[in-house]
């Protein structure tokens, strides 16, 4: 009876952790969406609109940090098997890293809003952020299927791999465009390069997170 109760509490704990992780990815999607909106506003030279989206993103990032702490606190309670705890915490850490990359991207974008960035550069970056929104949304769908349908969760994880491949192609195209810029000053080029690298890192981290979801479909 005692072992049965222990297993019940362990499963409940795992469910609570997944609920927190789901909330975290939901907020992460909000930040990616706001980054995409800010990028498109910058492309359309709607500077104030871009700034509002970035400000909202920063506020959401604070809530994501709070959630991360809640997850770690929850993970220390009860008798959750160490393997489950380790996998879930890896998942949450990946989500947190992705949110950090989004925040750093927004900071770079904020710097660039007052610069004369060519439309073709903004267009190429906006193409990437569009894919990032799709990737983050697919990640949430994969997380929803954990504990419900492992095959469905893995299917969504595979789709994230496909999106990451598209981002890689667009990243190389955008990098080539940067090399063609002769009139931009070195400082602006540097910030644009940093922003581009961060956008690719968001896609990479989303893919890494999908890998952990695959692990959870096996260990679950």
**What are 157's two structure tokens?**
């994880």
Percent of the chain surpassing pLDDT 90? 56
Model pTM greater than 0.85?
A: yes
Q: How many domains does the chain have?
A: 1
Residues in the chain: 220
Query: Is residue 189's pLDDT more than 70?
Result: yes
**What are 202's two structure tokens?**
């968001």
Q: Which residue has the higher pLDDT, 175 or 66?
A: 175
Q: Which CATH number is 133's domain given?
A: 1.20.58.220
Which of 95-99, 106-110, 193-197 bottoms out in mean pLDDT, i.e. has the lowest? Answer: 95-99
**What are 41's two structure tokens?**
């506003």
pLDDT for the residue numbered 6 = 43
Report the alpha-carbon distance of residue 173 to residue 191 in Å, rounded: 17
Mean pLDDT value across the chain = 87
Write the pLDDT tens digit of every residue in 2-30. 444 345 444 555 677 778 877 887 898 89
Query: Is residue 102's pLDDT more than 80?
Result: yes
Q: Where do the H-state alpha helices sit in the chain?
A: 2-43, 47-75, 82-112, 119-145, 150-179, 186-219
Write the pLDDT tens digit of every residue in 106-145. 999 999 999 999 999 999 999 999 999 999 999 989 988 8
Domain that holds residue 126: 2-219
């Amino acid at each position: 009876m005692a072992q049965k109760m222990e297993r019940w509490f362990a499963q409940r704990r795992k469910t609570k952790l997944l609920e927190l992780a789901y909330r975290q990815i939901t907020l992460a999607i909000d930040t990616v969406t706001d980054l995409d909106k800010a990028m498109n506003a910058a492309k359309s030279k709607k500077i104030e609109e871009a700034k509002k989206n970035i400000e909202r993103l920063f506020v959401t990032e604070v809530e994501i940090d709070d959630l991360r702490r809640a997850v770690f606190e929850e993970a220390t309670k009860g008798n959750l098997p160490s393997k489950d705890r380790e996998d879930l915490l890896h998942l949450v850490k990946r989500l947190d890293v992705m949110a950090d990359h989004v925040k750093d991207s927004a900071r770079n974008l904020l710097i660039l809003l007052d610069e004369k960035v060519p439309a073709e550069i903004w267009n190429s970056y906006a193409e990437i952020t569009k894919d990032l929104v799709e990737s983050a949304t697919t990640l949430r769908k994969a997380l929803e299927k954990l504990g419900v349908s492992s095959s469905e969760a893995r299917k969504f994880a595979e789709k994230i791999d496909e999106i990451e491949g598209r981002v890689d192609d667009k990243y190389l195209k955008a990098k080539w465009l940067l090399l063609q810029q002769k009139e931009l000053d070195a400082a602006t080029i540097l910030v644009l390069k940093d922003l581009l690298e961060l956008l690719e890192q968001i896609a990479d981290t989303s893919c890494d997170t999908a890998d952990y979801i695959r692990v959870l479909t096996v260990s679950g």
